[in-house]
Structure 1
């Protein structure tokens, strides 16, 4: 088995943005770590070129990827009947975006999970013939039954693990709530599937539960979104599959080393969306921990690292953390990807230096607060706390405007009437379309990147 080849996978780089100066006795060090993967064989995340992880690579070899498409076939998918038709068409569009050589399977999900194609507890290998066979099988899909999403995910896990593939990815579509299995069953399934495959989750219409769908995507390091109009499913599925086909390195971890006496307060992904990774740490040797980031193609993401260091006197300095990227080799050891980034702490009596906020840290602290304010505001609105909801959503409007997050500001304007964005003065709208409220909640964690 060979290691990564520079010609096969993206080149990773790590850039650190921080104010390293602390006042005498200061202990908290904050840094934004930008990780960029560029120059991989996908040429920018399209549907061409080889994938892969640490395995023997040969030019022209079929990419080492496997995808499971999970389609909701519960009874509610027949209301209106066009919804089921749109789901079939969207799945067919995703099949068209599969790269030749990719392993794939289609699952029909109700209160049980059924293999729609190819069957027999296995995956098919994508080519013109298998795509057409899968589309023929799709035409027979009808709606009927309940919803137990954990069964869909467990079947997807079995099918994906049956394929010899480095990149394992799921796409899940639901239109309803997970009413036919206990919440703890779904939670246990997500814990078992975490790290085994990534999964994008979509809710179609407005009868599904936002926290369920976003929780699935979060646990499986994928994206979540609403497709309020079933007619837009095909375009969304095509984009998801094209992005999945652009992934080239699986199971990448952000590895953080800290010196004796230093501890990690938190590690959060802050772009392209907020995702707290702190509790997902796995130990990776003396004073080092790995935080999972999923699969990568040509892309860039930002992480907020907060480290508590021992207090020190003016004039002292220390290395507060060392950040690198790691991915597993076939023999179970880890391989470092690209250079490392250094987070420093320097104690000073220069008040201007120690109190200066790094622009990147300040920006993403605001973006994380923005996501939290939206979620809290919507929860308070649902609970009937008008004053509390107005205060939180007003703060969200203020943060969105100050940070230039125009997309979120636009979504907020469908839920509140903005009196003064700069001060966060708003009034709750008396009538809000359910799709608008769900869109704001689903996309609340999406961030805008800081201009560096």
Structure 2
């Protein structure tokens, strides 16, 4: 039985006339169990492999091997399918033309699916909207599957006319989750990140074929560990208050603000997807009406909800004070994650400016990113930034753009931009 807890980190004291309340809410899950075993419905997995003509023989061989390795991680009894994606999506396994498009995993079906994958060859173009739409249709064909997850691999840029992919993403949003990986350097990070963020998943680069197997295994193991199929962050604010934003800030930065689903006029749900044994941090910012010195107010009630059941709760408070020592403090957690959010933005804007030939802006943005990464102890971001810029002074953010940077290093920095590092709780 999964258990959840909530902890709130904030400085609740506001100065005279103060209105904005910021808090980091940490939600922790323990005892989540296994996907499809501890929730209210069955689990479903779909592996989508790019089989377009751009897949070189070494990459295709690695993709076949990685997809087969992913199958080995799927727990017996889980519903699954394998899709070959090119300029149209093809159901590679199970071999059905109508009825249920998923089968349950067993030794026999695993072997049959592996044989189907072994026959993959590259041909045709890339139309990712058809891949997402087929996944949705396959999940819908087995109504008892309520926990739905896709592992998607591509190696190239989507070649459909504008709008088709966005429409397919919209149809999939809220219906299934997707972890996306790009092989090599001919795919667009922003494009695949858009899919992953909408579908509450991850995005990363697989720069060389020999790394693919381990990534596929890791993704599938993580999916199988999510024994809580779906949860919502439920936020109540008092009459007249305004939610400025709701963001997940750990383990990655994901803006949930515009994904609110009303529960009551004062309460809204924000999607968080499936959970394993893990902790996630959320930054909630609320604007309330200023009150007199000495008055207190509940600024927000932040809960984790499984359907109608609330399983954890944290309270965000506001107290107006004339003591400047109290009101001037910025909570360490809030300061840290504000910096991590700025870090992600600085990296993405810096790389975009570099690609556009605006070296001055790129240098400024990436220099700020180096400064933020150094200050927050984000070693992964620091390491990846140093492959793109020469660092003269990390503390001051003084950098020079490197010449002849490997494209894979730039893409690795881009995909990792939203990954955050946690602050020590005793700091």
Q: TM-score, normalised by structure 2?
A: 0.97
Q: Which residue of 2 aligns with 1:284?
A: 263
Q: Distance in 2 between matches of 1:293 and 1:342?
A: 19
Q: Distance in 2 between matches of 1:282 and 1:247?
A: 23
Q: What is the aligned counterpart of 1:242 among 172, 196, 221? A: 221
Q: Which residue of 2 aligns with 1:65?
A: 43
Q: Distance in 1 between matches of 2:20 and 2:53?
A: 53
Q: Is contact 2:32–2:275 with CA below 8 Å preserved after alignment?
A: no
Q: Map 1:14-29 to 2 at 5 A.
A: 14-29=6-21
Q: Distance in 2 between matches of 1:40 and 1:284?
A: 25
Deviation at 1:50, TM superposition (A): 5.5
SS at match of 1:266: strand
Deviation at 1:161, TM superposition (A): 2.1
Q: Distance in 2 between matches of 1:40 and 1:278?
A: 26
SS at match of 2:54: helix
Q: Is contact 1:30–1:306 with CA below 8 Å preserved after alignment?
A: yes
Q: Distance in 2 between matches of 1:391 and 1:203?
A: 28
Q: Which residue of 2 aligns with 1:331?
A: none
Deviation at 1:119, TM superposition (A): 2.8
Deviations along 1:152-211, one digit per CA (max 9) or x if unpaired, are: 0110111122221221100000000001x2231111111111111100000000000000
Q: Which residue of 2 aligns with 1:4?
A: none
SS at match of 2:213: helix
Q: Is contact 2:20–2:287 with CA below 8 Å preserved after alignment?
A: yes
Deviation at 1:369, TM superposition (A): 0.4
Moved more, 161-170 or 213-222: 161-170
List alignment gaps of at least 5 residues for structure 2. none
Q: Distance in 2 between matches of 1:50 and 1:383?
A: 46
Q: Distance in 2 between matches of 1:197 and 1:162?
A: 14
Deviation at 1:142, TM superposition (A): 0.7
Q: Distance in 1 between matches of 2:88 and 2:176?
A: 20
Q: Which residue of 2 aligns with 1:51?
A: 37
Matched, 1:171 2:147: no
Q: Map 1:92-107 to 2 at 5 A.
A: 92-107=68-83
Deviation at 1:286, TM superposition (A): 3.1
Q: Which residue of 2 aligns with 1:158?
A: 137
Deviations along 1:260-311, one digit per CA (max 9) or x if unpaired, are: 1111000000000100000000101130000001111111100000000001
Q: Distance in 1 between matches of 2:357 and 2:32?
A: 50
Q: Distance in 2 between matches of 1:440 and 1:50?
A: 34
Deviation at 1:251, TM superposition (A): 2.5
Q: Is contact 1:415–1:428 with CA below 8 Å preserved after alignment?
A: yes
Q: Which residue of 1 aligns with 2:401?
A: 428
Q: Is contact 1:167–1:247 with CA below 8 Å preserved after alignment?
A: no
Q: Map 1:287-326 to 2 at 5 A.
A: 287-326=266-305
Q: What is the aligned counterpart of 1:210 among 160, 184, 189? A: 189
Q: Is contact 2:36–2:229 with CA below 8 Å preserved after alignment?
A: no
Q: Which residue of 1 aligns with 2:89?
A: 113
Q: Distance in 2 between matches of 1:101 and 1:192?
A: 27
List alignment gaps of at least 5 residues for structure 1. 1-6, 43-48, 56-63, 329-333
Q: Is contact 1:190–1:216 with CA below 8 Å preserved after alignment?
A: yes
Deviations along 1:123-159, one digit per CA (max 9) or x if unpaired, are: 1110110000001111111100000001001101111
Q: Distance in 1 between matches of 2:286 and 2:214?
A: 42
Matched, 1:223 2:202: yes
Matched, 1:360 2:333: yes
Q: Is contact 1:327–1:335 with CA below 8 Å preserved after alignment?
A: yes
Q: What is the aligned counterpart of 1:200 among 161, 179, 195? A: 179
Computed over aligned residues only, the root mean square deviation of the Cα atoms, in angstroms, reads: 1.1
Q: Which residue of 2 aligns with 1:38?
A: 30
SS at match of 1:159: helix
Q: What is the aligned counterpart of 1:189 among 165, 168, 174? A: 168
Q: TM-score, normalised by structure 1?
A: 0.92
Q: Which residue of 1 aligns with 2:53?
A: 75
SS at match of 1:284: strand
Q: Distance in 2 between matches of 1:101 and 1:51?
A: 9
Deviations along 1:35-77, one digit per CA (max 9) or x if unpaired, are: 11012334xxxxxx7634335xxxxxxxx21001110000000
SS at match of 2:360: helix
Q: Is contact 1:51–1:247 with CA below 8 Å preserved after alignment?
A: no
SS at match of 1:166: strand
